[in-house]
Structure 1
């Protein structure tokens, strides 16, 4: 597979190009909208506080087996939609050059290897299983969105994005689409992403109303990002292969990250596992 004519090297992973991804002029309007939405959502959720007791109990029980990160949902944001975020410059959905969504083989659960006419490479790193549960926010987040679809993509352990970064423009690993099951869930087999300058470790995803919409790369319902907790990042980045990620997290935090600085409760994954056995990351995605 051929990438876009303007292949990018690690030079793009600098602070200037990742404030964030398309620059301040692109991201600040997004952040301003998010802050307004949170203010309005917070006001509208006040009368619902009394109905969250049962869900708090469920969330606490679900969190008891996790080693780090947030719960899949919390009472204060139970019925709020997932914050809308920039897709960044490497989406691969046709909005910035190459469109992997229309290629045969993109619908898959294991995204560690490239597929189709690509170079056939494989992303190495600490194993990570990602489970997203898509629910309907309008119904109080209690109704799963069965038959929806999720397109998920991320950087590899070196901080590079397939299809775009110099050296991996012929690869399409760490990208895939899945249809949600009757419980609204999709699960991807991946590797723990690296941390490049200017961004906190994260994973991108888009939600579509159907698999047909996703593979046609049309009618996106929601675009957001999953955040990874600091303690797990520190543990993973101390292992072989993640040397580029050791210093970068020390220069920023979830609180100072351009995307997550205005609140990340709904985007911080609940995590369990270990370096030896691999990690699991779970998140509820209200749309």
Structure 2
């Protein structure tokens, strides 16, 4: 058993506020998700893939659903459901962490270590965004350091695009954020952890254990569409595609592939991402260094 404590920022949980965009604005309206409409047809017998925690996890210190802060990007609502893989029953009051990079591939808490980039290219580099951006594979090896499950200590006090919230009686939890960007060596993704058997107090969430550590992934069409929208379009960082990613196990929803909803040709207005996670609440999965691919040094 491990002890975790979430400190409420400002002494109160942050209620969701508007992030703009007609799609994202309605995403907290409490619609019934697809899994509920399937009348028992949930794929709850296959555990959602465990993945490496990555080097940039910070034991959750922001209890909130809106993790955007002042970061620019395409508005996104992440709608999650957590169920017991054996019984199919929803996990109530589980603590769900999410964290991801910003539109230019930078992680809060690790700005000096992040490998993303954008804006004005360095001297001698081609000007403007690549004409086929963000398609194509990296031309060099991914950067070393911070790969696998190795943890890096934070280098700054920023905490944007990080948050923890509890599941309701239906096992649901929703976050407001922005569509993540990309950085060298990894496909676009969001990190997650699910904690159970702890206690919610006025101070936050304490005790319990981590029953799932995973990542969510994005279909290529949506990533390419996002690359046409500022600030993503200013990125000068080469991109790894979903099929080239060494963490994603290519198993679709089981591997963390999100279902994305957005208007065709209007992704800038907002995106809804949804998925049901089937977990084993009695097991402990803090992290893992086991990856589908051969590269254990890929940035995570």
Shift in Å at residue 59 of structure 1? 5.6
Aligned counterparts, 1:178-217, within 5 A:
178-210=165-197, 212=199, 215-216=205-206
1:126 maps to 74
Shift in Å at residue 148 of structure 1? 0.9
2:97 maps to 151
Shift in Å at residue 134 of structure 1? 0.3
Shift in Å at residue 238 of structure 1? 1.0
Aligned counterparts, 1:170-249, within 5 A:
170-210=157-197, 212=199, 215-216=205-206, 219-243=209-233, 245=235, 248-249=238-239
Alignment coverage as a number of residue pairs: 197
2:110 maps to 164
User: Residues of 1 paired with 2:237 and 2:71: CA distance?
Assistant: 21
TM-score, normalised on structure 2? 0.60
For structure 2, list consecutive stretches of 5 or more residues without a partner in the other structure.
1-33, 114-154, 280-300
CA deviation profile, 1:21-63 (whole Å, cap 9, x unmatched): xxxxxxxxxxxxxxxxxxxxxxxxxxxxxxxxxxxxx66978x
User: Residues of 2 paired with 1:217 and 1:161: CA distance?
Assistant: 26
For structure 1, list consecutive stretches of 5 or more residues without a partner in the other structure.
1-57, 63-72, 94-100, 114-121
- Say which structure is richer in helix: 1
TM superposition outliers: structure 1 runs of 4+ over 6 Å? none
1:270 and 2:216 equivalent?
A: no
TM-aligned CA distance change 1:261 to 1:91, over 3 Å: same
- Secondary structure (helix, strand or coil) at the match of 2:244 reads coil
1:280 maps to 272
Aligned counterparts, 1:35-46, within 5 A:
none
- Secondary structure (helix, strand or coil) at the match of 2:112 reads coil
TM-aligned CA distance change 1:84 to 1:261, over 3 Å: closer
TM-score, normalised on structure 1? 0.62
User: Residues of 2 paired with 1:109 and 1:210: CA distance?
Assistant: 21
Shift in Å at residue 80 of structure 1? 1.1
